[in-house]
Chains A and B, each alone.
Chain A
Amino acid sequence: MINYNISKLENGLTLIHHEDNNTNLCVSNLLYNVGARDENPDKTGFAHLFEHLMFGGSVNISSFDTPLQKASGENNAFTSNDITNYYITLPSQNIETALWLESDRMLRLDFSEKSLNVQKGVVIEEFKQRYLNQPYGDAWLKLRPLAYEVHPYQWATIGKEISHIENASLEDVIAFFERYYNPSNAILCLAGNIDFKTAKELTQKWFGDIPSGPVNKNKYPQEPVPSKRKEKTIEAKVPQNGLYMAFQMVERTHPLYFGFDLLSDILSGTESSRFMNILVKEKAIFTHVHAYISGEIDKGLFIIDGKLKDGIDFKDAENAVMEILIDISLNGISKTELTKVKNKVITSNLFSKTSVLNKAMALCYAHLLGDIELVNTEIEALKSISEEEIKQICKDYLTTENRSVLKYISKQ
Chain B
Amino acid sequence: MNRKDAPEIQIIDKIHTGFPERNGRIFRIDSEEAVFKLEIIYPNAGYGIYKNKFHALYGMDLLLSGTADQSASEISESLDQLGSFVFKNCDYYNASITIYGLSEHLENTLKIVHNSIEKCIYVDNELTVYKNRKISELNINLNKTNFQANRAINDLIFGDNHPYSQKSDEKLIQSIQNSELLEFKKNALTEPYFIYTGPKETTIENTIASFGFDIRGEMPIVIEEKAPVIACSRKLIPVGGSTQNSIRFGKILPSRQDPDYFSLSLMNLVLGGFFGSRLMKNIREEKGLTYGIHSSITPFKKFSLFKISSECNNELSETVKNEIEKEIIQLQTDLISDEELTIARNYMLGSLLRNFDGAFNISERLKAYLELETEQGYYERYFLAINQITPEQIRACANNYLDIKTLNYCVAGEV
Contacts and interface: CB of A to CB of B under 8 A. Distances in A.
B243 A128 contact: yes
Nearest to B245: A133
Interface residues of B, number: 78
Nearest to B135: A287
A377 interface: no
**Majority secondary structure of chain B interface residues (helix, strand, loop or mixed):** mixed
Contact of B85 (A117, A272, A347): A347
B291 interface: yes
Nearest to B74: A272
A340 B7 CA distance: 50
Among all A-B residue pairs, the 4 with the closest Cβ atoms: A121-B288, A72-B350, A343-B83, A271-B76
Contacts of B384: none
B278 to A, nearest CB: 13
B85 A74 contact: no
Given A69-B347, A128-B243, A271-B72, A100 B133 contact: no
B6 A25 contact: no
A347 B84 contact: yes
A128 B132 contact: no
B342 A60 contact: no
B9 A120 contact: no
Contact of A336 (B81, B286, B288): B81
Interface stretch (A174-182, A234-242, A318-326): A234-242
A94 B8 CA distance: 8
B56 interface: no
A69 B286 contact: no
A73 interface: yes
B10 A93 contact: yes
Interface stretch (B29-37, B259-267, B299-307, B403-411): B29-37
Given A104-B3, A271-B76, A272-B73, A91 B343 contact: no
A133 B244 contact: yes
Contacts of A70: 6, 9, 342-343, 346-347
B4 to A, nearest CB: 5
26 contacts: A24-B353, A66-B343, A69-B344, A70-B6, A72-B11, A96-B7, A103-B3, A107-B3, A118-B288, A120-B288, A121-B289, A123-B291, A129-B291, A271-B72, A271-B75, A281-B73, A284-B129, A309-B132, A343-B81, A343-B82, A344-B80, A346-B83, A347-B85, A348-B85, A350-B34, A350-B102
A226 interface: no
Given A133-B242, A272-B76, A343-B80, 20 more contacts: A25-B354, A61-B3, A69-B346, A71-B350, A72-B347, A72-B353, A74-B350, A93-B9, A100-B3, A107-B3, A125-B291, A125-B313, A133-B244, A133-B311, A136-B140, A239-B140, A270-B76, A280-B129, A281-B125, A347-B101
Interface of B: 1, 3-4, 6-12, 31-35, 64-65, 72-77, 80-85, 100-102, 125, 129, 132-133, 135-136, 139-140, 142-145, 240-244, 274-276, 284-292, 311-313, 342-344, 346-347, 349-351, 353-354, 357-360
A125 B101 contact: no
Contacts of A347: 35, 83-85, 100-102
A40 interface: no
B302 to A, nearest CB: 31
Contact of B360 (A90, A284, A309, A354): A354
Nearest to A90: B350
Nearest to A193: B357
**Majority secondary structure of chain A interface residues (helix, strand, loop or mixed):** helix
Contacts of B274: 69
Nearest to A276: B73
Contacts of B136: 239-240, 287-288, 307
Contacts of B11: 72
A122 B290 contact: yes
B365 to A, nearest CB: 15
Given A133-B311, A239-B136, A346-B102, A125 B244 contact: yes
A354 B35 contact: yes
B33 A354 contact: yes
Nearest to A343: B83
Nearest to A351: B35
Contact of A25 (B75, B132, B311, B353): B353
B74 to A, nearest CB: 7
Given A125-B312, A354-B360, A344 B76 contact: no
Nearest to A117: B288
B88 to A, nearest CB: 12
Interface string A18-32: 000011110000000
Contacts of B142: 239
A104 B3 CA distance: 7
Contact of B243 (A120, A123, A132): A132
Contacts of B349: 72
A50 B145 CA distance: 28
Given A73-B350, A287-B133, A66 B276 contact: yes
Contacts of B291: 122-123, 125-126, 129
Nearest to B344: A69
Contacts of A215: none
Contacts of A24: 353, 357
Contact of B143 (A61, A237, A350): A237
A277 to B, nearest CB: 5
A253 interface: no
Given A72-B12, A96-B7, A125-B312, A287 B132 contact: yes
A305 interface: no
A347 to B, nearest CB: 4
A65 B346 CA distance: 13
A70 B11 CA distance: 9
A341 interface: yes
A283 to B, nearest CB: 11
